[in-house]
Structure 1
Amino acid sequence: MTVRLSGPLSDFVSANVGEHGDYENVSEYVRDLIRRDKEQREAKEFERLKAELAHAYAAPESSYKPLTAADVIARNRT
């Protein structure tokens, strides 16, 4: 994989890599950025799921109805 940077972006990366930067090399920096992006996306998805579950658990008990496994399977086939 090749990534080309120029101007301010290249300068910014250079400042974060090497003897005075937080990373030994550009590859290490890019891997860290990708990991952070992945973690951020996973955290957002987890928060969305938690909100969805909170909404479901907030429903009144009377809105629930008993279902068999066969009912669930049939519903999911449609």
Structure 2
Amino acid sequence: MSRPTPTTMTVRLSGPLSDFVAANVGEHGAYENVSEYVRDLIRRDKERQEAEAFERLKAELAGAYSAPESSYKPLTATDVIARNRAR
């Protein structure tokens, strides 16, 4: 599997945001450079979003499993697709 071509992005920060980034990069910061810091922030945000989606799925499944069996009804794949498109 080939890796995607890296994308270069330009971000402008000033004032407190710039100062905050500068404090976290370099000799006394947790990151060697700004790119490393930004990549880590993006990875963390991606992980947070994935965790939130997983929690929503778990809550949906918990509700489904706690419903009385009498509330279940047979559905075809077409029924499920139509129901999900309607949401």
Query: Which string of whole-angstrom CA distances, capped at 9 and with x for unpartnered residues, describes residues 37-76 of structure 1?
Result: 00001101100000000000001111223x3xxx513324
The structure in which a higher percent of residues are helix is: 1
TM-score by length of 2: 0.78
Unaligned ranges ≥5, structure 1: none
Cα 1:14–1:55 shift into 2, 3 Å: same
Unaligned ranges ≥5, structure 2: 1-8, 83-87
Q: Which has the higher contact order (CA 8 A, sep 6+)?
A: 1
Cα 1:57–1:40 shift into 2, 3 Å: same
Q: Percent identity?
A: 77
Q: Which has the larger radius of gyration?
A: 1
Aligned to 2:78, which of 61, 74, 77? 74
Question: What root-mean-square deviation, in Å, do the aligned CA atoms of Structure 1 and Structure 2 show?
Answer: 1.4
| Structure 1 outlier segments of 4+, above 3 Å | none
Number of residue-to-residue matches in the alignment? 74
TM-score by length of 1: 0.86
